[in-house]
Chain A
Amino acid sequence: MTFWSIHIATRLVRLALVLAAVAVLSFALAKSSPVDPVNAYLGADIARAGPEQRALIAARWGLDQPVPAQFFHWLGNMLVGELGYSMTYNAPVIDVIATRFRTSLPLMGLAWLFSGIVGFALGILAGSRPDSWVDRGIRLYAYVLASAPTFWIAILLLTVFSVGLGWTPVCCAGPIGVVPEEVTWLQSLHHLILPLAALSVLGVAQIALHTRAKMVEVMQSDFALYARAQGASRREIAIRHGARNAAIPALTVLFASLGELFGGSILAEQVFAYPGLGRATVEAGIRGDVPLLLALALFFSFFVFTGNAIADIVYRVVDPRMDGKLLR
């Protein structure tokens, strides 16, 4: 038990350190940008603001202070939950992230689950009969789609299903002209299908490949041979022994792939104009909305690091061989 508390405590310290480093890094990057925050804020009104007004805005935002002072001021605000104000959306950053997260959550969550379940099933199917036609088909799918750019797949899906067949809507998270509160869940689902498919493609391929590799290993192992000699069928071995063993790499990859999931959602949301976190990130970057961009960077890294840590812990929990101390 002490082992676990120490393990988790170390993880927490590392999480804090990584977050601090990400904060310093992102802040430094945002500060070194040639985009002038005052200009970015003024936008089209730039001609109407005199030098005095600009100085006033700069002073109001603390831009006249030295950079380290700005950093600590910002960090202090962050720690008390004061994330700043987003100029792009004209709302507090915390509200922007909260609304966008609610829109993105079904997309990312379902894509994540879907990748896990479908990928695992395909991997088991392919790995239980290596070099069969099923295996070749699944492998071909996985290799090709694991290399295809997510946004291109999204474009193809849009071309075929929205433009060609007209089955699915072209954009957004709800019908045009309907306020988000009045969109029914059926409509949301309808708008979710294509982004979900585009986002799941990569995850499914990765999980399938990793599961397959493990399955092939198990099916060639001595205990599989022994089970076969005892009269178990191929399918029984695949389910009893294969699936259990293959669950470890599948779970690990699933938790460790959160970073790619977020990256993919940025691209998928961009193509489908889906108003989620990914699109907010792009907008923040393009418009030079520094407070929002920084908050999003911290938000994402929190999840990715936690995912990586869970992947590590899952690995130890599911496979006791990973840690001698747990064998006692």
Chain B
Amino acid sequence: MSDIVDVETPPTTGIWTTNRAATLGAATLGFILLLGVAVGSLSLGSFGLDADFAARLAAPSPGHWFGTDQMGHDMLARTVHGLAVSLQVGLIAATISVVIAAALALFATTCGRWADALVAFLVDVALGLPHLVLLILISFALGGGTTAVILAVAVTHWPRLTRILRAEILQLRQSDFVLASRRMGKSWAEIGIGHFLPHLWPQLLVGLVLLFPHAILHEAALTFIGFGLEPSNPAIGILLSDSLRFLMAGKWWLGLFPGLSLLAVVLCFDAIGNGLRVLADPRREQS
């Protein structure tokens, strides 16, 4: 419908001299973050999951950088575990979303006018419900749990990307090599797989990186309001909703640090995605 909504945000230059350098920097940082969380979560084992009642609700100190919670869990360890869960859920959900978007965009552009109208209608419906309401409905339908969250996030994030991909393919349709393949008797389905899809790879990659932080944020939101992962699973959303109970007692570290870590991850992948989008756009002058 209103394609105008996807107004481009400017690339994140600033203190970086070039976008290439900025993107490379952000990508390196993102990779280190991913690796750190993965290795950290694996090597921590059950540290941070086992209770230590000697050190309950301790403020941040050299021993516990992020403090401890009501069970004496080290919050740093819990945050790392939580990020690992979030990254996992976000990655799987974003990948499924990208696949859905690509499939729908190809379907809309190669299967005739009715297919196009149908996809446009689906996009309208999906954007017509606030994301969070749809997320609540879906995880209600699936009865909660990790799979429900992944599926809910996956099936709510494709509409924007579908629109972008569709517009991209519509431009491709006019190009000479596509017309030539048509004349040589190739079907639209063959052109879709053989020509459109390879052209979309950069867009798909950028889409994946940009969807990833959104997926993480929505997972956290869904978990926070109590629809997502099991309370035993220390996802960031659960850490934050737990922190509400001790907020009145002035235990500020319970909420501050997990949220800050989440924000850091989201910002980092946002920067990578926006940088990649500019780099992947051949029509754009590279600074």
A residues whose Cβ falls under 8 Å from a Cβ of B = 14, 17-18, 21-22, 25-26, 28-30, 32-35, 136, 139, 143-144, 147-152, 155-156, 158-159, 163-164, 170, 209-210, 212-214, 216, 249, 252-253, 256, 258-260, 262-263, 266-267, 270-271, 281-282, 285-286, 288, 293, 296-297, 300-301, 304-305, 308-309, 311-312, 315
Contact = CB atoms under 8 A, between A and B. Distances in A.
A30 B141 contact: yes
A304 B4 contact: no
A297 B140 CA distance: 13
Contact of B141 (A29, A159, A258, A262): A29
A285 B10 contact: no
B54 interface: no
A306 B148 CA distance: 30
Contacts of A17: 121
12 contacts: A18-B128, A147-B263, A149-B262, A151-B221, A155-B247, A159-B247, A213-B9, A256-B2, A262-B133, A266-B130, A282-B226, A308-B128
A226 to B, nearest CB: 24
A308 B141 contact: no
**6 closest cross-chain pairs (CB), A and B:** A152-B259, A263-B132, A29-B141, A34-B143, A262-B130, A259-B130
B138 interface: yes
Given A152-B262, A253-B5, A259-B127, 20 more contacts: A18-B121, A18-B124, A29-B137, A29-B140, A32-B141, A33-B142, A34-B142, A143-B267, A147-B270, A151-B220, A155-B243, A156-B255, A156-B259, A159-B256, A249-B4, A263-B133, A270-B225, A301-B130, A304-B129, A315-B4
Contacts of A256: 2, 5
B248 A304 contact: no
A242 to B, nearest CB: 16
A260 B130 contact: yes
Listed residue (A147, A216, A259, A312) with the most chain B CB atoms within 10 angstroms of its CB: A147
A209 B132 contact: no
A311 B46 CA distance: 51
A252 B1 CA distance: 12
A282 B124 CA distance: 24
A230 B138 CA distance: 59
B144 to A, nearest CB: 9
B224 interface: yes
A18 B125 contact: yes
B197 interface: no
B212 to A, nearest CB: 12
Interface in B231-287: 240, 243-244, 247-248, 250, 252, 255-256, 259, 262-263, 266-267, 270
Give chain B's interface residue range (CB within 8 Å of chain A).
35 or more
A116 B10 CA distance: 20
A301 B128 contact: yes
Nearest to A290: B140
Contacts of B255: 152, 155-156, 159
Contacts of A312: 1-2, 4
A256 B226 CA distance: 27
B217 interface: yes
Interface string B90-132: 0000000000000000000000000000000100110111111
Contacts of B124: 14, 18, 305
Interface of B: 1-2, 4-5, 7-10, 12, 14, 121, 124-125, 127-134, 136-143, 213, 217, 220-221, 224-227, 240, 243-244, 247-248, 250, 252, 255-256, 259, 262-263, 266-267, 270
Contact of B244 (A32, A155, A297): A155
Contacts of B225: 151, 266-267, 270, 282
A297 B133 contact: yes
A285 B140 contact: yes
A22 B224 contact: no
A159 B267 CA distance: 23
B44 to A, nearest CB: 23
Contacts of B8: 213
B224 A263 contact: no
Nearest to B143: A34
Contacts of A148: 259, 263, 266
A16 to B, nearest CB: 12
Nearest to A288: B140
